[in-house]
Structure 1
């Protein structure tokens, strides 16, 4: 294969290994694994989960739910507060899959009751410390009112309480992550005790990659919803969730200029390819990616003496030592581990495996592709690839 433009490479073996490790952890702890598919957004990658026995999934939009429903997934949680403007599409989905919706505000419930044609599962999202959205865990008045309103409907089936510990992504200490996780589990179990007399079956769901990766024993909940673990990235490695060898995606970018007076190498690969996510370094500098070398068995751990330090729209700037600067020429392809694999994958809109297979990404598909169900065994080659492979 010949790469001529920025291309997102996927190491299938690493990806499969990451999936199997999380599947086994869930199985060992007696948990349902409902992986978040927002990271890969690919029907083909989704099949790798299905082959490991995964049956329930999480997505981040109704559009994503349609895509995976069209590929045979029948138990789908849309893990964002329900958008009542999408009721028409929600009804279509609920007619053919077990659809799980997230409620944060009580006033959403009567809108759903009036607008839904089919029964859906409903979860209350609880804020246990992240403070992005959700009902505060000790706001019993709001939770009481929401549950009473849900109980009075015939279209909404209360499934349980769910939370997302997004604040674990700000940690680099395993004990801090354990503490955040335990606080969330305690809050959810307090709610379970309070309301189990009213609802006979209440499930508890959590879902962040750092805690699901770092903890070997996970108790007190029914399901986990990690997503980033399928690829991992430099942010997760910085947190301590994974090793470099577990990062399953890598950007391949052409060298388009060199500046010896400042030891900078210019890549064709900018923020429209990588996203603008950054890791702040201890010396005050910014890191947008780390350089690896390609071998016959995939890429290596990061090489020392060269880093991606700046991004503009189409350009990336690498700062190098004298030795590393001399190793690369204009026209070479350089390989960069991303800071945030979810956003890089969404920006690139497709994958190229190390075996040369093109895999689709939802972001690269036309809207017409989502208009009708497709057998999940039938793949359509994406015609909107951002990579030109000759």
Structure 2
């Protein structure tokens, strides 16, 4: 590896397998597959999706929508609440592609209708239990009212939901329980419509493990392309399915306290952590000809801005942790790590084209 500073390494084989898994599952249940691209934010990785037959995508910002438009994508859903202040740029982009925005209030829809000059689609953000944003699914009067306000410019395209509370699960049974209650809330809402609306649904845990997608029209998950240690802890995947690892140089040795320091900290990983088996910020791996291998019991224990501290168990071969050595770390949250890292490449050294951070 010709690496001199923190670099995010993508295992293309694993990523493609993850994409194929979710694409096949959507096809199995006759669902439209609209993957969320906020995890990878990459034109390179987007091409892997395109090769699997994907033509519809979701993003988390207008800037991201514009980036993927520039790389040939023409059916994009901005799966983030409509930002009133960006209506001019939204109008401009909508002249080129089929663009969908997310509405979660009367004020937002009123503004959209009065400021859009170009046809645009809107979906109503519905809260099915996560509590982050959206109209509570039980508030069917407000949701039906918004759905009935379509016109020749602003066209209602359905409901959208994100069961983000599945990320609090500990195992597949808890994922299924959260998923089931989310679907029950959606069912009560959908039954209020004369004509059943299109329903876009997306959280990686549910989409990864469940086999019940009644009422759902579209998969809109995203993290699955890389997965991460959070998904392992939740029960969405195995460690072997994680398709990204951060490569970091070792810059200091402190064997008197069984620690080494890496060039890699919060500005590279974020400060997300997991508590399995104890609090840590990443799982240590060693790179080999086939990718990487997990070093059991070795974790990224502490991080500051650029520093990362790895505690070495007594039985670990310290020769793997000498100055200048490149060590790998599986991230806790691959979406944030990928967002933070401009330096990305595949295991074979091919650069990954990524959206510039704003």
Question: 1:82 is matched with which residue?
Answer: 82
Spell out, residue by residue over 1:3-47, the C-alpha distance to the aligned partner (whole angstroms, 9 max, x if none).
Answer: 111111111111111100110010011101100000000011001
Moved more, 135-144 or 337-346: 135-144
Question: 1:12 is matched with which residue?
Answer: 12
Question: 1:225 is matched with which residue?
Answer: 220
Partners of 1:56 and 1:349 in 2: how far apart?
25
Instruction: Within 5 Å, give how 1:1-390 maps onto structure 2.
Output: 1-148=1-148, 150-151=149-150, 153-195=151-193, 197=194, 200=195, 202-281=197-276, 285-300=278-293, 302-324=294-316, 326-327=318-319, 328-364=321-357
Spell out, residue by residue over 1:209-250, the C-alpha distance to the aligned partner (whole angstroms, 9 max, x if none).
Answer: 001011234332100111000000111111111111111110
Spell out, residue by residue over 1:45-71, the C-alpha distance to the aligned partner (whole angstroms, 9 max, x if none).
Answer: 001101100111000000000011111
SS of 1:293 mapped into structure 2: strand
The answer as to whether partners of 2:81 and 2:102 remain within 8 angstroms in 1 is yes
Deviation at 1:350, TM superposition (A): 3.5
Deviation at 1:176, TM superposition (A): 1.7
Partners of 2:153 and 2:140 in 1: how far apart?
24
Spell out, residue by residue over 1:338-387, the C-alpha distance to the aligned partner (whole angstroms, 9 max, x if none).
Answer: 101110111112411111111121135xx8xxxxxxxxxxxxxxxxxxxx
The answer as to whether partners of 1:263 and 1:321 remain within 8 angstroms in 2 is yes
The answer as to whether partners of 1:290 and 1:306 remain within 8 angstroms in 2 is yes
Partners of 1:72 and 1:224 in 2: how far apart?
21
Q: State the Cα RMSD in Å.
A: 1.5
Deviation at 1:191, TM superposition (A): 2.1
Partners of 2:83 and 2:250 in 1: how far apart?
43
Partners of 1:305 and 1:13 in 2: how far apart?
26
Partners of 2:280 and 2:356 in 1: how far apart?
26
The answer as to whether partners of 1:270 and 1:311 remain within 8 angstroms in 2 is yes
The answer as to whether partners of 1:161 and 1:205 remain within 8 angstroms in 2 is yes
The answer as to whether partners of 1:305 and 1:324 remain within 8 angstroms in 2 is no
Partners of 1:79 and 1:105 in 2: how far apart?
15
Q: TM-score, length-normalised on structure 1? A: 0.88
The answer as to whether partners of 2:228 and 2:334 remain within 8 angstroms in 1 is yes
SS of 2:315 mapped into structure 1: helix
Deviation at 1:169, TM superposition (A): 0.6
Report the count of equivalent residues: 357
